[in-house]
Amino acid sequence: NISLQERINDLKVRHQNLEKMLDDETHRMQRDDAHISDLKKQKLAIKDQIENLKVIPRPFKSDGRRWLDNDHL
Contact (Cβ atoms closer than 8 angstroms) between residue 46 and residue 19: no
d(CA 14, CA 45): 11
Residue 7: pLDDT band with limits 50, 70, 90: very high
Record the pTM.
0.70
**pLDDT per position as a tens digit, 19-72:** 999 999 999 999 999 999 999 999 999 999 999 988 766 566 666 666 554 544
Tell me, what amino acid is at 39?
L
3-state secondary structure of 56: coil
